[in-house]
Amino acid sequence: MRQIILDTETTGLSAENGDRIIELGCVELLHRKLTGNNLHFYFNPERDSHEDALRVHGISNEFLRDKPKFVEVVEEFLQYIEGAEVIIHNAAFDVSFLNKELELAGKAAFKSFVGSVTDTLVMAKEMFPGKRNSLDALCDRLGVDNSGRTLHGALLDAELLADVYINLTRGQDALLMDVQDNTNQSDNLERMDLSVFDLPVLMANEQELNEHEGVLTQIDKSSSGKTVWKVLSSAVA
């Protein structure tokens, strides 16, 4: 499975109001492993960045003057992403800018070139409701070293997001194991009789039960009453 982690930096916040992409960074994963086949461009956006944007990415207008325009490398970009699952943090933002750049280049919308788009911000909000889920916050929470991120940069952020994504989906590793290999190996495994062990059952105390109930209440509120445990409890009652 080919996956592309993608990030952009822009002149501002609104593609519809004329802001443009100034940097594009892509990192390739094959079977959840980094390949080193990355794609990275700086672009001449033909306009200056807003002051707020400059404070975020630190890419000066002068630096971008001699860089290629998006339309000049659009074919290379489309060939690179073709058919892949593209993973983006806050995908709606980046996709809106990519759509505008592709429109200006006379191309179809971004999603028509890729297999699918996965938004890690949506994933994180579902996994950590009520918590901060920025890229920096996720790096801290998941133990990803982001000490080199003093300013935003598309390629650096894509590399960090690749680590974050692997950590967010680590439980999926088992789904990628080779079934045939497992079948062959199972014949050589020594089976253990668990009946010889006397395993104690540790019951939750009142404080732990109350804390558990509090977590379920928070999840239930964030999911608009769709928490499975709450629904099952109500059905039993």
Please report, for the domain that includes residue 50, its CATH number. Answer: 3.30.420.10
Going through the chain in order, the beta strands assigned E by DSSP cover 2-10, 21-30, 33-34, 39-42, 85-88, 116-119
Inter-residue contact 40 to 26 (CB < 8 Å): yes
Examine residue 113 and state whether it is found in any structural domain, yes or no: yes
Over residues 187-206, the mean pLDDT reads 71
Q: Integer distance in angstroms from the first to the last C-alpha of the chain?
A: 45
pLDDT digits (tens, 9 = 90+) for 69-81: 999 999 999 999 9
Antiparallel, parallel or unpaired: β 33-34 and 21-30: antiparallel
End-of-domain residue from the set 130, 151, 173: 173
Catalytic residue among 40, 89, 152, 212: 152
pTM above 0.75, yes or no: no
pLDDT digits (tens, 9 = 90+) for 97-156: 999 999 999 999 999 999 999 999 999 999 999 999 999 999 999 999 988 776 788 999
Tell me what pLDDT residue 192 has.
66
**Is 89 tagged catalytic?**
no
Examine residue 132 and state whether it is found in any structural domain, yes or no: yes
End-of-domain residue from the set 173, 198, 221: 173
Q: Which domain holds residue 115?
A: 2-173
Q: Provide the token pair at 10.
A: 């822009």
* Per-chain mean pLDDT for the chain: 87
> 224 with 167, same domain?
no
Examine residue 190 and state whether it is found in any structural domain, yes or no: no
> 44 with 107, same domain?
yes
pLDDT digits (tens, 9 = 90+) for 112-125: 999 999 999 999 99
Inter-residue contact 21 to 67 (CB < 8 Å): no
Inter-residue contact 21 to 43 (CB < 8 Å): yes
Examine residue 187 and state whether it is found in any structural domain, yes or no: no
> 150 with 237, same domain?
no
> 219 with 153, same domain?
no
Examine residue 194 and state whether it is found in any structural domain, yes or no: no
Domain count, the chain: 2
